[in-house]
């Protein structure tokens, strides 16, 4: 018999908060995490770059983590996971380590060591970085060793859908009673490689990104590490754990359309949302809020709004993109947005899209929350992640009853 899956703990580090409390305050206030990229991170002075900004984590924290782990991914994940475990009131020492799993989503994780290795090779030096040590599967294993986890480990890299697919993988394992607890989430820290890559695609905004605005011109890259503790309702009830939300359903589809461009009609984005709702036993009438993928690129936002309009019909729904505040954290995007949505459900608020002057939405039943969060008792929300190569994922998150 399938188990109900609940969220009992969460942890986050991103440009607008080094913990869950800071994250909530700044989400509600519509605070932007956008800042100038520091020269000691990488040089963006070349006029080739469309932008000199990103939604970076606190510079002091960045240096502290970087000094311990040049890939960043392991240390920044450990900090977010520690908060998730603490908020779940979970004592791992009293838990069978074979019944705890870990799932990590990342897109281009570990690219900094790779870049340094290439630089050494080009300069004729013998690289002093072991790439195997900083490979993402090895980082997942290192995190598991840190917490004594002996259950299933997964490293998922499905572009910008990685974080959501990590949550989905954990959901499947708990739902099917394969493990007692899953630590699931995503992590990515933008580097010169990712910044240059998105710049070459003309996908970076020249200023602050503006999801669903008529003048949108691209995204802002962001740093993030976000994780959640998932377990069955029976387990949470037995140990009197806090329950932030229930994961009702999840879906991933692939549109097999283009390497970097979405299908312009949003057919498969709509399918992902429909599938997640169906698994949750819900309909569009139940949906109060959609945390959109909302990258602020011309193609994505147009496609996604078509998908939302087709999905919702005449039913009313609130929409926003938290990427307007925290940037696009690539493989971590789905997990940090999952945490934002679950937090909104638990605390009764909808986070906003900021920087919007004239939005592209014309349907009165689809309401864009702008500039400041609003208090609202969300019963059910969808969180979307649509990645390169057609990876389309959506997760249905419910208020726990």
| β-pair partners for 386 | 392
Predicted local distance difference test score (pLDDT) of residue 259: 85
The residue from 14, 55, 160, 209 that is catalytic is 160
Beta strands in 189-281 (DSSP E): 224-232, 245-254
Q: Is the confidence at residue 327, as pLDDT, over 80?
A: yes
Give the lowest-confidence range in 23-32, 152-161, 258-267, 312-321.
Answer: 258-267
| Closest by CA position to 304, among listed 251, 261, 275, 356 | 261
pLDDT tens across 179-217, in order? 999 999 999 999 999 999 999 999 999 999 999 999 999
Q: Per-residue pLDDT for 67 more than 90?
A: no
Q: What is the pLDDT of residues 239-262, one digit of tens each?
A: 999 999 999 999 999 988 888 888
Which DSSP letter does residue 332 get?
G
Q: What is the pLDDT of residue 1?
A: 82
Q: Which of 14, 55, 209, 328 is catalytic?
A: 328
Per-residue model confidence (pLDDT) at position 80:
98
Active-site residue, selected from the candidate residues 55, 103, 209, 293: 293
* Mean pLDDT to the nearest integer, 280-292: 98
Instruction: Give the chain's domain count.
Output: 1
Distance CA 252, CA 390 (A): 10
**Residue 94 banded pLDDT, cuts 50, 70, 90:** very high
Q: Indicate which CATH number applies to the domain containing 82.
A: 3.40.47.10
Separation of alpha carbons 215 and 238, rounded Å: 52
Question: Does the pLDDT at position 149 exceed 80?
Answer: yes
* Domain residue limits at 62: 5-398
Joined tokens for residue 284:
């569009």
Q: Express each pLDDT in 354-371 by its tens digit.
A: 999 999 999 999 999 999
The CA distance from 344 to 324, in Å, is: 16
Per-residue pLDDT band at 35 (split at 50, 70, 90): very high
Residue 175 CA to residue 179 CA, distance in Å, equals 9
Whether 285 is a known active-site residue: answer no
Mean pLDDT of the region 88-96: 96
> Is residue 263 flagged as an active site residue?
no
Mean pLDDT of the chain: 96
Copy the structure tokens of residue 192: 């010169």
Q: Mean of the pLDDT values across residues 153-158?
A: 97
CA 291 to CA 340: how far, in whole Å?
A: 9
Q: What is the DSSP track for 244-264?
A: -EEEEEEEEEE--S-SSPPPT
């Amino acid at each position: 018999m399938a188990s109900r899956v609940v969220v009992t703990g969460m942890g986050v580090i991103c440009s607008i908060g080094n913990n869950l409390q800071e994250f909530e305050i700044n989400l509600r206030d519509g605070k932007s995490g956008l800042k100038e990229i520091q020269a000691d991170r990488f040089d963006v002075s070349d006029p080739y770059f469309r932008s000199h900004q990103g939604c970076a984590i606190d510079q002091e924290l960045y240096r502290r983590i970087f000094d311990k782990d040049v890939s960043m991914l392991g240390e920044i994940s450990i900090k977010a996971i520690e908060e998730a475990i603490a908020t779940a009131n979970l004592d791992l020492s009293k838990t069978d380590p074979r019944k705890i799993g870990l799932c990590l989503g990342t897109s281009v994780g570990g690219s900094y060591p790779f870049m340094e290795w290439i630089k050494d090779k080009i300069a004729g030096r013998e690289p002093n970085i072991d790439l195997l040590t900083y490979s993402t599967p090895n980082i997942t294993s290192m995190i598991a060793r840190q917490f004594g986890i002996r259950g299933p480990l997964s490293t998922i890299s499905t572009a910008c859908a990685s974080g959501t697919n990590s949550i989905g993988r954990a959901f499947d394992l708990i739902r099917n009673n394969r493990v007692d607890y899953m630590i699931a989430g995503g992590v990515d820290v933008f580097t010169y490689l990712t910044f240059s890559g998105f710049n070459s695609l003309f996908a970076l905004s020249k200023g602050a990104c503006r999801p669903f605005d008529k003048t949108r011109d691209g995204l802002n890259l962001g740093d993030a590490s976000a994780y959640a503790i998932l377990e069955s309702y029976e387990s949470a009830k037995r140990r009197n754990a806090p329950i932030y939300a229930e994961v009702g359903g999840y879906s991933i589809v692939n549109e097999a359309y283009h390497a970097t461009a979405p299908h312009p009609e949003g057919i498969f984005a709509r399918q992902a949302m429909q599938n997640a709702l169906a698994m949750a036993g819900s309909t569009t009438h139940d949906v109060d809020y959609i945390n959109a993928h909302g990258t602020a690129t011309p193609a994505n936002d147009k496609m996604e709004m078509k998908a939302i309009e087709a999905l919702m019909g005449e039913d009313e729904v609130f929409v926003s993109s938290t990427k307007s505040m925290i940037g696009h954290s690539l493989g971590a995007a789905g997990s940090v947005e999952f945490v934002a949505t679950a937090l909104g459900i638990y605390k009764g608020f909808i986070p906003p899209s900021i920087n919007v002057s004239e939005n592209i939405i014309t349907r009165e039943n689809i309401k864009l929350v702008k500039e400041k969060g609003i208090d609202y008792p969300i019963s059910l929300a969808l969180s979307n992640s649509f990645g390169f190569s057609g990876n389309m994922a959506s997760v249905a998150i419910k208020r726990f009853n």
